[in-house]
Amino acid sequence: MHVTPPAFEHHREPLGIGESAPRLSWRRVTDAADWRQAAHQVEITAADGTVTADTGRVASAESVLVPWPGPRLGSRDRVGVRVRVWGEGEDEPSPWSPTAHAETGLLEPTDWTARPVTPDRAPAEEPLPVALLRRDFALTGHVASARLYITAYGVYEAEINGEPVGDHVLAPGWTSYAHRLRYQTYDITPLLRTGENTIGGALVTTSLW
């Protein structure tokens, strides 16, 4: 018997998620015939390894979209979650699942402090060519962790130091601007270096944030 790493809501990549109390799901893998879960235990740790929640044994057969058992997460919080289960009639639990990690994005409007950048060109009735935006910046020390939060009125592709950021093409995808503006979160730690760096973007239509 083993338990798979828990999933957060329906996210395939739980980086920059928008839920402060994400529901959890896991799978039980066993060759035992007619095995049924009777209880589970969830442990949550903060980025520094501190255990912030431990449910102990919870009598429940549920393993899909189980309510978040810990304190609500704030913006940019990173947590690790692992699970173990008991079968019906079993006194000993399964081994702990591998730890799965998730990180929240920018949950509050006040978290956005950037200003939009827009190509310096006059409005036109005809379609405009792709705008190429670029900025140099310097880092004076080692980068432990870095995130890029980015969106556009239109579609974009971003790069840092000549390397593409993520594997998205024409992000953020279709967006109803009258209702919402989707953004993406990228881990850009490996793309940065001490000294001079350059961030650039190819933008179709209006503004990049």
Q: What is the pLDDT of residues 47-56, one digit of tens each?
A: 999 999 999 9
Residue 116 has pLDDT above 90, yes or no: no
CB 151 within 8 A of CB 182: yes
pLDDT band at 208 (very low <50, low <70, confident <90, very high): low
Check the CA dihedral 55-56-57-59 and report its sign: negative
Q: Inform me whether the pLDDT recorded for 37 exceeds 80.
A: yes
CA-CA-CA-CA dihedral for 12, 16, 22, 26, to nearest 10: 30
Rounded Cα distance between 197 and 204, Å, is 24
**Sign of torsion, CA 159 163 166 169?**
positive
In whole angstroms, what separates CA 176 from the centre of its chain?
22
Which tokens in the block code for residue 141?
């020390």
Which amino acid, one-letter code, is at 140? T
Domains of the chain: 2-104 (2.60.40.10), 114-208 (2.60.120.260)
Compute the average pLDDT of residues 25-38. 95
Tens of pLDDT along 135-163?
A: 999 999 999 999 999 988 888 999 999 99
Confidence of residue 38 (pLDDT cuts 50, 70, 90): very high
Query: pLDDT confidence of 174, banded at 50, 70, 90?
Result: confident
CB 199 within 8 A of CB 156: no
Q: Which residues on neighbouring strands pair with residue 103, listed in sequence order?
A: 15, 78
206 three-state secondary structure: strand
In degrees, to the nearest 5, what angle opens at C-alpha 179 toward C-alphas 177 and 185?
A: 70
Question: 19 and 107 in contact (C-beta within 8 Å)?
Answer: no
Q: What is the mean pLDDT of residues 168-192?
A: 88
**Closest to 186 measured CA to CA, from 155, 146, 139:** 146
At residue 175, the pLDDT reads 81
- Return the bridge partners of 186, or none: 148
* Whether the model pTM is above 0.85: yes
State the chain's mean pLDDT as an integer: 92
